[in-house]
């Protein structure tokens, strides 16, 4: 039987890199996509080292593809080339994503479009082209979402919109495939050590290059990746990590006005908050 294969977008750093390494630990060959050739090569090297130090995974394969999930042709080529090199697809993890910070009145519309192109359309494109294989193998589609997909966050209009859209798409896909064997997981990591906040766009579309959070106190990417893979193996539908995330979803469901006030107050306290 062919080895199991997991494809991961946004695999050059943070959660994506950790997901790739965890996949190899669990006996998956991996197809990895990202925009940065240098960073993606580093991820591939880390995966190779993991294979070398494991007696049971010395025949696993690693395939890398330089591309941008905003571009449909890049997503199609990633899926097709992965299939040619790895022979099958069992798991697709739509991890590539960008964030933003800026109040809507001051934000250029091009920023919101870029968020939608990456976070939403990137997921749609890759899922569309991988789906025939995933259905054939009764595999899993995973979307790395956010609490922002359950609760709209102030100064994150484009980010929340893109994650709401992603979750709506994946929930619909799950319902369509209740009898096909396809599993669809929406995973919301919560605040995690990663580059997503430093690479977040401001209201003009430039990278902020700083983080409003104390990154050293956040959940590690490795811990998040392990939890996500555990959820994949268990074929769960949702994964919400951290008590803060679970409370945010609960309060927003039952006490939406309170959730608005609490969320606003949290964002207002961030360094360089637009609400100060």
Vertex 77: Cα angle to 74 and 20 (nearest 5): 85
Residue 15: its H or E element: helix 14-25
Distance separating the N- and C-terminal Cα atoms of the chain: 59
72-86 vs 122-136: helix crossing angle, rounded to 10: 30
Indicate if 191 belongs to the active site: no
**Is the CB of residue 113 less than 8 Å from the CB of residue 122?**
no
157-176 vs 122-136: helix crossing angle, rounded to 10: 20
Q: What are residue 65's phi and psi, to 5 degrees?
A: -140, 125
Q: Which of 159, 191, 238, 264 is catalytic?
A: 159
Residue 43: CB atoms within 10 Å: 25
Catalytic residue numbers read 159
């Amino acid at each position: 039987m062919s080895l199991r294969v997991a494809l991961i977008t946004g695999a050059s750093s943070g959660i994506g890199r950790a997901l790739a390494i965890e996949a190899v630990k669990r006996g998956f060959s991996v197809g990895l996509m990202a925009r940065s050739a240098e960073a993606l090569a580093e991820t591939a090297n880390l995966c190779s080292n993991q294979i070398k130090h494991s007696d049971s995974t010395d025949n696993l394969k690693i395939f890398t593809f330089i591309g941008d999930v905003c571009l449909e042709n890049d997503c199609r080529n990633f899926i097709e080339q992965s299939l040619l090199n790895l022979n099958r697809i069992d798991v697709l993890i739509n991890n590539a994503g960008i964030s933003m910070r800026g109040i809507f009145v001051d934000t250029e519309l091009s920023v919101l479009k870029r968020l939608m192109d990456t976070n939403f359309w990137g997921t749609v494109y890759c899922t569309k082209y991988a789906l025939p294989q995933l259905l054939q193998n009764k595999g899993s589609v995973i979307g790395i979402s956010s609490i922002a997909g359950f609760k709209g966050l102030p100064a994150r209009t484009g980010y929340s919109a893109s994650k709401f859209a992603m979750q709506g798409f994946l929930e619909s896909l799950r319902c369509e495939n209740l009898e096909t064997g396809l599993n669809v997981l929406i995973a919301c990591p919560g605040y995690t050590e990663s580059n997503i906040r430093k690479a977040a766009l401001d209201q003009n579309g430039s990278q902020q290059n700083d983080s409003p959070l104390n990154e050293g106190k956040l959940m590690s990417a490795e811990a998040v990746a392990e939890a996500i893979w555990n959820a994949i193996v268990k074929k769960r539908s949702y994964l919400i990590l951290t008590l803060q995330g679970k409370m945010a979803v609960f309060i927003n469901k039952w006490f939406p006005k309170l959730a608005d006030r609490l969320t606003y107050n949290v964002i207002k306290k961030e360094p360089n908050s637009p609400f100060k």
